[in-house]
Structure 1
Amino acid sequence: MLQKGDQVKNFTLQDDHGQEISLSDFRGKKVVVYFYPKDDTPGCTVEACSFRDEHSRFADANTVILGISKDSVEKHEKFKSKYDLPFYLLSDPETTVIKHFGAWGEKKNYGKTYEGIIRSTFILDEVGKVIHTFEKVTTKDHALAVLEEIGKF
């Protein structure tokens, strides 16, 4: 998993409208990159809505939010529309960016072991360097914890 001080390689993924979005589009702003397993599931919805509810505070802090999962552009569009999410949802079906960040790995659920997206969040500075990571995410108040960290920089 990427750690504090690591430089993130530029990447380009499609957003919920099929538009190509690159990390470099946001140079000069802080970027929150959060990885989540699946659109419109209970934990992922709570997490996304926490970012939605605090979105104006992120904007005031010159910070962009990028949510990334393997879900398709079409699923992202439905999820974003259903919950009125005001930030980018990016589709990474090949898991290229997910794996670059180290957000892919072994998971366990109901005694079953499988590979999947590890719910994690990275705060990047204005030039794309990791300034904080969250490897254990509590979905309900996650946006507030991220805002608290951003306030330290």
Structure 2
Amino acid sequence: MFATNTNFLQMGIVRKAVASPLNPIFLLLEEISMSMLGTNLPAISLESTEGKHVKLPEDIAGSWTLLYFYPKDDTPGCTKQACSYRDHIGEFKEIGAKVYGVSLDHLDSHKNFIQKYSLNFPLLSDPDHKLSEALGVYGDQEWKGKVFKGLSRDSFLISPEGKIQRVWRKVDPATTVEETLQEISKASGR
């Protein structure tokens, strides 16, 4: 339905929807997420904490890959989510899946975050929010009554062929790991 690099924010979609099945904006976001399924991951290169640029989708081809977007390094919810992935990385490897965290933070911040919490998977830096915008993750966010530009906590399961297999919007950092593991296991047949 949508072109590979469609920018959902340019379509006038507001990202500060309340996650409720009764909220029409939330329903629109869900519909757009569904329409992304089967489309190619945008061709974008991001700096990685592994000391190289990761060229999407070619550098992740051949493996199931989870790209999880989070607002900011070393903040309570983001730390909880990252540490949960850290604690379950062996299970992701067992089912042949890679995990990448993505935020707007620069590499120095990412490296400090990895070191402080012994994270065992790479983080990608998207300071110009190119990938985040292309996937509809970057935009107006609301926290404690204030609206600001930033990332929502969304995750994308990418197939070995580089296609978007599943989208999770506004995930709960406490429960997202188990749900993503189940979905990857189901999709990969492992």
Q: Same fold by TM-score, threshold 0.5 exceeded? A: yes
Q: Deviations over 1:108-141 (max 9, x none)?
A: 1122122210110000100111111110211012
Superposed, which structure 2 residues align to 1:28-67 within 5 Å? Answer: 28-67=62-101
Indicate which of 15, 20, 26 corresponds to 2:53: 20
TM-score for both structures, normalised by structure 1: 0.94
Larger Rg: 2
Q: Name the structure where strand makes up a greater proportion of residues.
A: 1
Query: SS state of the match for residue 152, structure 1?
Result: helix
Q: Which amino acid aligns with 1:141?
A: T
Structure 1 CA distance, aligned partners of 2:51 and 2:108?
A: 8
- In the TM superposition, residue 10 of structure 1 has moved relative to its aligned partner by 2.3
Structure 2 CA distance, aligned partners of 1:50 and 1:59?
A: 14
Does residue 4 (structure 1) correspond to residue 40 (structure 2)? The answer is no
The 4+ residue runs of structure 1 with deviation greater than 2 A are: none
Percent identity over the alignment?
35
- In the TM superposition, residue 17 of structure 1 has moved relative to its aligned partner by 4.6
Q: Which amino acid aligns with 1:120?
A: D
User: How many pairs were matched up?
Assistant: 153
TM-score for both structures, normalised by structure 2: 0.77
- Give the root-mean-square deviation of aligned CA atoms: 1.3
Which structure 1 residue ranges, 5 or more long, are not aligned? none
Structure 1 CA distance, aligned partners of 2:175 and 2:142?
A: 23
Equivalent pair of 1:37/1:119 in contact (CA under 8 Å)? yes
Aligned partner of 2:115 in structure 1 is 81
Indicate which of 155, 163, 179 corresponds to 1:129: 163
Q: Which amino acid aligns with 2:42?
A: K
Which structure 2 residue ranges, 5 or more long, are not aligned? 1-7, 9-32
Equivalent pair of 2:65/2:159 in contact (CA under 8 Å)? yes
Deviates more, 1:15-24 or 1:100-109: 15-24
Which structure exhibits the higher relative contact order, with contacts defined as CA atoms closer than 8 Å and separated by 6 or more residues? Answer: 1
Query: SS state of the match for residue 186, structure 2?
Result: coil
Does residue 150 (structure 1) correspond to residue 184 (structure 2)? The answer is yes
